[in-house]
A = this chain, B = another copy of it.
Amino acid sequence: MKIIINTSLMVPIYEQVVDQIKTLIRNGVLKENDNLPSVRTLSKELKISALTVKKAYDLLESEGFTITVHGKGTYVAATNTELLLEEQKKELEADLEQAIQKGRRCGISDEDIRDLFELILEG
């Protein structure tokens, strides 16, 4: 369970937790019926509030990735990893599209946008 929190990022902590747990599930690091760390344990480990962890777990459950049993813990649900990958790609697509549109609004040419992109990807 290597989860890395970057508070300097402008991405909410709970979202970072959700994203990374989804990835752990997709990559098979977390498998069906595996027990996620308890809310308190993870909050201590990541040095964040227990409520923040809980919010992440709530989101994961509402999206069907985990199942929470009162008094017992949170478990990985049966998932279609293929479907999960597609979903994450959709998110990336939205982010990239937003960046590209912003660049265009600023009058930057597609050429320049592509050059920048390649520079970052290979950098």
A binding-site residues for B, Cβ under 8 Å: 9-11, 16, 19-20, 22-23, 26-27, 62, 85, 88-89, 91-93, 95-103, 105-108, 110, 112-114, 116-117, 119-121
In the complex the two chains form, what is the Cα distance from A85 to B103 in whole Å? 11
In the complex the two chains form, what is the Cα distance from A92 to B98 in whole Å? 10
Q: Would B16 and A105 count as touching, CB distance under 8 A?
A: yes
The 7 nearest A-B residue pairs measured at CB: A95-B99, A92-B103, A88-B106, A23-B107, A97-B120, A23-B106, A96-B99
Copies per complex?
A: 4
Q: Would A105 and B19 count as touching, CB distance under 8 A?
A: yes
Q: In the assembled complex, which residues on chain B have CB atoms less than 8 Å from the CB atom of A116?
A: 89, 92-93, 96
Q: In the assembled complex, which residues on chain B have CB atoms less than 8 Å from the CB atom of A121?
A: 100, 110, 113-114
CB-contact partner of A96 in B11, B23, B96, under 8 A: B96
